[in-house]
């Protein structure tokens, strides 16, 4: 559905996913986990395929301020898709990485960072948020780099040591081209 909303050929995209397999298991979501006792229900999960195998850059920050770049040369379209998303957008990534050769995710809960948008010049943009964040509608005045700096200052020494930043050599040219060094945490 997302691919079709972006104007892509639905049959072509579905062919990419034709051999996908799923496993059903009990799942406690974000909201179900807030109940006592926690509420779970059966959910289907993609098996044998995970976006993490295509990650070439990740600043390793938790939630807001996280920036992740994936690169899959075998994807359907030679395009960059920029996702301004929240935790729910991560379930899309194993699909998006097979549609677009480059997928960049900024964890902003749908807020748009115009500086990041202008610097990366994506072919496609997805803004995803969760209902609980709609108390304040997404804005166009968000700064991921400011969030990264603020979160970096707030990290304890133990948290800084635990961060595992990813900058794979095979993505170095793309990382530089997109200016992602601006989104590395200050450790």
- Per DSSP bridges, beta strands 67-71 and 100-107 are antiparallel
User: Model confidence at 30, in pLDDT bands (50, 70, 90)?
Assistant: confident
Q: The whole model's pTM is what? A: 0.90
In this structure, of 22-36, 57-71, 123-137, the range with the lowest mean pLDDT score is: 123-137
Tokens of 124: 């496609």
Task: State the pLDDT at residue 66.
Answer: 94
Contacts of 53 (CB under 8 A, 6+ apart): none
Torsion sign over Cα 5, 6, 10, 14: negative
- Torsion 4-12-173-106 (CA) sign: positive
Model confidence band, residue 186 (pLDDT cutoffs 50, 70, 90): confident
168-174, Cβ contacts within 8 angstroms, sequence gap of 24 or more:
168/55, 168/56, 168/57, 170/56, 170/71, 171/56, 171/57, 171/69, 171/71, 174/56, 174/69, 174/71, 174/102
For the chain, give the percent of residues with pLDDT over 90: 73
pLDDT at 9 > cutoff 90: yes
pLDDT at site 180: 94
Contact 94, 49 (CB under 8 A): yes
Q: What is the pLDDT of residues 97-155, one digit of tens each?
A: 999 999 999 999 888 999 999 999 999 999 987 666 666 667 688 899 999 999 999 98
């Amino acid at each position: 559905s997302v691919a079709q909303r972006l104007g892509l050929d639905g049959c072509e995209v579905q062919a990419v996913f034709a051999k996908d397999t799923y496993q059903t298991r009990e799942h406690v979501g974000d909201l179900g986990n807030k109940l006592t006792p926690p509420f779970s229900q059966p959910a289907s999960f993609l098996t044998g395929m995970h976006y993490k195998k295509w990650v070439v850059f990740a600043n390793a920050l938790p939630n807001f301020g996280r920036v992740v770049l994936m690169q899959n040369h075998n994807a359907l379209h030679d395009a960059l898709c920029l996702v301004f998303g929240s935790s729910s957008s991560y379930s899309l990534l194993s699909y998006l990485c097979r549609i677009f050769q480059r997928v960049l995710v900024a964890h902003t809960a749908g807020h748009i960072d115009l500086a990041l948008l202008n610097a990366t010049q994506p072919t496609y943009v997805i803004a995803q948020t969760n209902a609980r964040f709609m108390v304040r509608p997404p804005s166009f005045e968000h700064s991921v780099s400011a969030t990264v700096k603020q979160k970096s200052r707030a990290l304890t020494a133990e948290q800084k040591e635990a961060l595992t930043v990813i900058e794979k050599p095979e993505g170095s040219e793309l990382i530089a081209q997109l200016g992602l060094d601006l989104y590395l945490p200050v450790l």
